[in-house]
Amino acid sequence: MNVSAAPAVAFGCAFFACAVLAWLARPLGWLDEPGGANAERKLARAPVALVGGLAIGLGVLAAYLWDARVGGAAMPRFAAWIAGPQLGWIAMPSVDWRLAALGLAFLVGWIDDARRDGLHALPKLLLQSLPAAAVGLPLVLDGHALAGAAWFSAALWAMNAFNTYDNSDGAAGCLALVAFALPLPALAAACAGFLPWNLLPAGRATRGRQVYLGDAGSHMLGLALLFNPLAAPALLVPSLDLVRVAIVRMREGQRPWVGDLRHLAHLLRARGLPVAPTAALLAVIALPALAGAHQSRLHHDPQWLLAGAVATAFLFLLATGSVRRTPSP
């Protein structure tokens, strides 16, 4: 395989796909419109194209079609790559089922994106059960009931945690870029090709060229993170953020699944931190957990993974506490 070419192809294809798809989004209605039932928590004041996930997917596909042309890689190898490696310590569904789950996750997110105010919580959860079942049910039918239940639950959690983490421009894309940089560089490069369009401010000056990841992209990337053991620790940051805001909402007598502007990214931006530094800071918080996973694999010692996770949790709590103690300007 040409190590340098595939990421370059992924970046270029994702970057230009964002440009083309953003142009097509308006006539096709692939837009996140301001206003509606969720107007109070929408930061953009102009329509934004919901095509980032599609652009990233096209970038990855282009990279491995290129790899097949110059290095002889076949589609089964592409499927095994994008669906993640087999793990030795827990039963896993086949590569085909994991690839099917990624496709179903994208489709569920696309259906949610197609509705102006998104799906309600229960219908969305029921649809999310389809990709989760694609990884859990085959194991149950194969006699691994406990592993199947674990993968079903983990898939639901990963999709929801990463989806809710996509609440500020660049946050989800930066985290995915950092998480996949070493294990899946072409996917990281595709995320890098999407980020300039995501960080572009929406409004008349940019003529509607900003692009959101969309639920299609966040659902797909959430599962892709889960399936790769070296990238999965990045889900710790979205998980901590989701648990924290759920606790805050329940303490105030609110439903934990109703969105608001109390995620860590929102708090950082409310204190005056610009969009790009906010996304970068959140990605930095995940670095110890990711480094711990790599060291754990290198030294065959799970203590590295535990130490990295503890360090990331500490940085998250430190950032949250600092924001809460800082007076508003």
Q: Residue 166 class from Cβ within 10 Å (0-12 exposed, 13-18 middle, 19+ buried)?
A: buried
Res 66: pLDDT: 83
* The most confident of 39-43, 66-70, 113-117, 126-130, by mean pLDDT: 126-130
Res 1: pLDDT: 40
On whether the CB atoms of residues 28 and 48 are closer than 8 A, the answer is no
pLDDT band at 129 (very low <50, low <70, confident <90, very high): very high
Q: Residue 219 class from Cβ within 10 Å (0-12 exposed, 13-18 middle, 19+ buried)?
A: buried
Residue 44 has φ and ψ, to the nearest 5°, of -80, 145
Q: What pLDDT, in 10s, does the model give residues 176-231?
A: 999 999 999 999 999 999 999 999 875 544 566 899 999 999 999 999 999 999 99
On whether the CB atoms of residues 316 and 263 are closer than 8 A, the answer is no
User: Structure tokens of 168?
Assistant: 């500020």
Mean pLDDT of 127-151: 95
6, pLDDT greater than 80: yes
Q: Is 251 helix (H, G, I), strand (E, B) or coil?
A: helix
pLDDT band at 148 (very low <50, low <70, confident <90, very high): very high
- pTM score, two decimals? 0.91
